[in-house]
Chain A
Amino acid sequence: MSKTVAIIGGGIAGLETSIQLEKLGYDVTLYEKDKALGGHAGKWDRLFPNRRHATEVIDSLTSRIKDKVQINLAATVNQIKRENGSFLVEANGKSQKADAIVLTTGFELFPANKKEEYGYGIFENVITSAELESMFSSNGKPLMTNGNNPAKVAFIHCVGSRDEKVNRPYCSKVCCVTAVKQAIEVKEAIPTSDVYCFYMDLRMFGPGYEDLYKEAQVKGVNFIRGRLSETSEMEGGRVLIKAEDTLSSKPLKMTVDMVVLMVGMSPLPSTEKLLKDLEITPNNDGFVQVKDYHLEPTHTEADGVFVAGACTGPNNITDSVNAAHTAALEVHKYLTSE
């Protein structure tokens, strides 16, 4: 009888792990709390650095899943219990046995209303980077609430990242390049628009990222080094932003039509409960603590519990896919060594 692996979370990491484990001959139970697979990436319009459509990636992954993967959609895992060397995974009132667990629960976007001074949820034309992606998906361009094209758009980097005041002292890695990508997209969709990026540092760490940054500059995106201090609403739903241009050491006021908050990656609160069940302590930032950051990045302290993707901390798609491969192989080693 073949062994069963439970995978919690059907985003990039969860899908890739499922594919690999199925190939290795295991039965896979994949749990996804949403009604569709794909996680956050599934809701994205286009991906950095080459701006391909996110659906391409998700479709490729889902098409490679075969019938040995039992997919449970809208299935929230409430509890994981250990029983005689295996696990009992309870979702939506139904329990299923599993011989190993892979946590691919991912992250949540930083709740932007925690930075109240940025006016999210208070001022109508303050949106998040995820909402901008939806606008691109549905309209191909950003629109103000009154239906007009924004003539001036400000991207605010590091919202809920590198910010002790909201308990998120770590860098979310991917928002810098996302902002650069989105800035270019706004510029392309509305060529007359003025686009500003308010940043602390630009962390262009991946292949092609730096090129994208250069492209943005060539296309006329303005980069201002300085964090936003506050926003207020002006006539016509425009937004007044106050910041400091730290390169010229001058305070700055600007009225824009739209503010896009580059929300960071935060630990998913529902993962915390599962970690308690499995006796795994979260790391300092609240993400899943891996066993050895360098050598065993997909192991956890708990025997038989593996991990991949952004539930271990901010990740891009490539990182998640790599981790998923490793996790699948480690699960295989674990289940064959018994």
Chain B
Amino acid sequence: MNLHAVQIPFHPFVLPFTIGLIFLVFYIVGKWIYWVSQFSWEDKKKIIRGFFSLKTPQAIWEVFMESLLHRKVFRRNALLGYMHMSLAFGWFLLIVFGNLETRFFTHGRINPPYIPIFFEFFEHDLTSLDYGRFFTFTMDLLLLFVLSGVGLAYFKRFRSKPLGMKNTTKHSTIDRLALTALWLIFPLRLLAESVTAGLYDAGGFITNSIGTFMMTFLPIQHFYYPSWWAYSIALGAFFVFIPFTRYMHIPTEILLIFLRKYGIVEKAIHSTYTQVELSSCSRCGICIDACQLGSDLGIVSTQSTYLIKSIRYDQPTEKLIDSCMACTRCDQLCPVGIDIASIRANERKMIQLFQENSYKYINGYEYKKAKVAYFAGCMGHLTPSVYKATLALFKKAGVDYNFIDRDGSICCGRPLQLAGQEDAAKQLIEKNIKLIENCGATVLVTSCPICAKVFTDSYKLKIPIYHHSQYLLMLAKEKKLKFEKSDLQITYHDPCELGRGLGVYDEPRELLGMAGKLIESANSRENSLCCGGSLGITNISHEQRNTIASITLSELAADKADVVATACPLCKKTFKSASENVRIADISEIMLDAVQENANKIQSEFVQEKEIETIHN
């Protein structure tokens, strides 16, 4: 056959591939148009504005870095990153070079897609081609690149640990079928091209040598057509599988990257964006290892990947929705950047257990008038040493504060939010906003990251909100507090709601650095572990919580440190319950120990508070 001829060559074996490709292209284009059309007018405006802005090239760059190079996966594990990169980027380069090769050969003519894919079938002798040797060499090299990834993927099925994964996702039958098709594509390409290269003494350094070698003992002329047919069928089958399997993530992730760049986010209920996110999940299973329910308790069937899959295809079970500590570690590690926390939160909202008037009975609270309002919250009241130390420091700094919820408060609403009880949470939030606004504060400081999170996200207060670690640091920077640094070895535990929840990582560290020497553990900051006390989960036992807490404590290098510092009353309580011989302290307690001129430290702290009325029963 001669490609130089005007007539475009054809052979029936290209049909499975071509039909599969046409189906896939129509499906994806149709789906994308459908999705985009379903967006709200607000979101559509964002898409249009974003499209004609710098965000588009930025998104293209991100597609290159993430969808092809898999930068985030690389960061997790180099071998796993290489596996993904060789498959995605290698395949991409094969397509690009294949097209270039055929373009060169046909002098710029636009060919049907099957020509570059099956080029070796249609044209055996490439010696006459400009840069022919370069192309045959490059194409073989790229095929080797992809095959190395396929090899790693085979290997990962049996032993995933060297690729940084303890657990891998359990896939459904159709996913396995698609996987089989994918795994067959490149070995079959190698076979078809090698057979052809052997028969015609063509091909590059790999295909030629394999082909020539096979010829020595195999009747490869009989393999010629079957191998090309098989290669085409594997490709076609894979394309047809894509829309119905996890491989839909390949095209969808590209759309997701653009939408995210244009500023589209998850809403208070599932939206079209959710649909795009659900289809973007590759079920890689990185979230399984990220989850402490798996690593610490052996619960490996309820992780985000399974929830997403179940929302995409059917109705998730209660267990699937509830089995999550809302620590958001998986959010941080998801290579696709799916907003898993919001999806799960919205899923939890489907069942509202409270009524409009559930909290009507709550009345009679009045917060104390204050400029600097200190709010201990429920958890703060359960750890009196935390507020006692914080207020002692305020006093030393001469802060004109008032402990507004000293005599009681309304729950901030965050625990209900975490349980998906949005309506009930709103009732509490509205009541609490009024009480806080009425106290006339210009600054609100809380010791509880759980309160701080909901104050920041849902209260829309006009005054600044600080966690006490932030506020104490401000006081230190204003020289209102001076600390004496000692040899105390401190390891700091990032509370979920303060760290990943509010992005407060540096302030507590800077503050603790003024009191002693900080030891960083392997899992800190964005990757920090949950203490196990999470309010986001209700279906694990206290024993299981203790197991998580113990493991987290050991990960915190608690044995090397004199004290485990945290900045959350709930973390402190949980750790204290699980540990018998490690000192656990809130950051405020450590800072109070280190504060200068604190001769009569904590004593008689409350005796001076004349405004407190004695309550009689």
Chain A residues within CB distance 8 Å of chain B: 113-114, 116-117, 119, 121-123, 164-167, 229-238, 240, 252-255, 269
Tell me whether B617 and A235 are in contact (CB under 8 A).
no
Closest residue of chain A to B603 (Cβ to Cβ) is A124
Contact of B612 (CB < 8 Å), options: A116, A166, A234: A234
Contact of B614 (CB < 8 Å), options: A164, A165, A229, A238: A238
B35 at the A/B interface (Cβ < 8 Å)? no
Neighbouring B residues of A234 by C-beta, 8 Å: 606, 612, 614-615
Total count of chain B residues near the partner, CB < 8 A: 28
Closest residue of chain A to B580 (Cβ to Cβ) is A269
- In the assembled complex, how far is the CB of residue A198 from the closest CB belonging to chain B, in whole angstroms? 12
Give 7 A-B pairs besides A116-B385, A122-B385 with Cβ atoms closer than 8 angstroms: A116-B382, A117-B383, A122-B384, A165-B577, A230-B381, A234-B614, A235-B612
In the bound complex, CA of A240 to CA of B606 (Å) = 12
In the bound complex, CA of A119 to CA of B605 (Å) = 14
Contact of A116 (CB < 8 Å), options: B383, B581, B607, B610: B383
**In the complex, per-residue mask of B577-617: 1 if CB is within 8 Å of any chain A CB, else 0:** 11011000000000000000000000001110110101111
Closest residue of chain A to B385 (Cβ to Cβ) is A122
Closest residue of chain B to A231 (Cβ to Cβ) is B384
Q: A122-B388, A232-B381, A234-B606 are in contact. Are A116 and B576 (CB under 8 A)?
A: yes
Tell me whether B576 and A114 are in contact (CB under 8 A).
yes
Which residues in chain B, 29-65, are within 8 Å of chain A measured between CB atoms? none
Would you call the interface of chain A mostly helix, strand, loop, or mixed? mixed
Tell me whether B542 and A240 are in contact (CB under 8 A).
no
B279 at the A/B interface (Cβ < 8 Å)? no
Q: A122-B388, A233-B606 are in contact. Are A114 and B615 (CB under 8 A)?
A: no
Chain B residues within CB distance 8 Å of chain A: 381-385, 388, 406, 541-543, 546, 572-573, 576-578, 580-581, 605-607, 609-610, 612, 614-617
In the bound complex, CA of A250 to CA of B430 (Å) = 25
Neighbouring A residues of B605 by C-beta, 8 Å: 233
Neighbouring B residues of A233 by C-beta, 8 Å: 384, 388, 605-606
Contact of A255 (CB < 8 Å), options: B382, B542, B581, B615: B615
Tell me whether B577 and A166 are in contact (CB under 8 A).
yes
Contact of A235 (CB < 8 Å), options: B381, B573, B581, B609: B609
- In the assembled complex, how far is the CB of residue A86 from the closest CB belonging to chain B, in whole angstroms? 33
Lowest 5 CB-CB distances: which A-B pairs, in order? Answer: A164-B542, A254-B617, A117-B382, A233-B606, A122-B385
In the bound complex, CA of A123 to CA of B385 (Å) = 9
- In the assembled complex, how far is the CB of residue B484 from the closest CB belonging to chain A, in whole angstroms? 23
In the bound complex, CA of A229 to CA of B408 (Å) = 12
* CB pairs A–B below 8 angstroms (21 shown): A116-B385, A116-B576, A117-B381, A122-B384, A122-B388, A123-B384, A165-B542, A167-B542, A167-B543, A167-B546, A167-B578, A233-B605, A235-B606, A235-B609, A236-B607, A238-B614, A252-B617, A253-B615, A253-B617, A254-B616, A269-B580
In the bound complex, CA of A325 to CA of B541 (Å) = 39
Neighbouring B residues of A119 by C-beta, 8 Å: 384
In the bound complex, CA of A208 to CA of B159 (Å) = 66
Tell me whether B616 and A255 are in contact (CB under 8 A).
yes
- In the assembled complex, how far is the CB of residue B447 from the closest CB belonging to chain A, in whole angstroms? 13
- In the assembled complex, how far is the CB of residue A210 from the closest CB belonging to chain B, in whole angstroms? 28
Neighbouring B residues of A237 by C-beta, 8 Å: 607
- In the assembled complex, how far is the CB of residue B167 from the closest CB belonging to chain A, in whole angstroms? 28
Tell me whether A255 and B617 are in contact (CB under 8 A).
yes
In the bound complex, CA of A193 to CA of B546 (Å) = 41
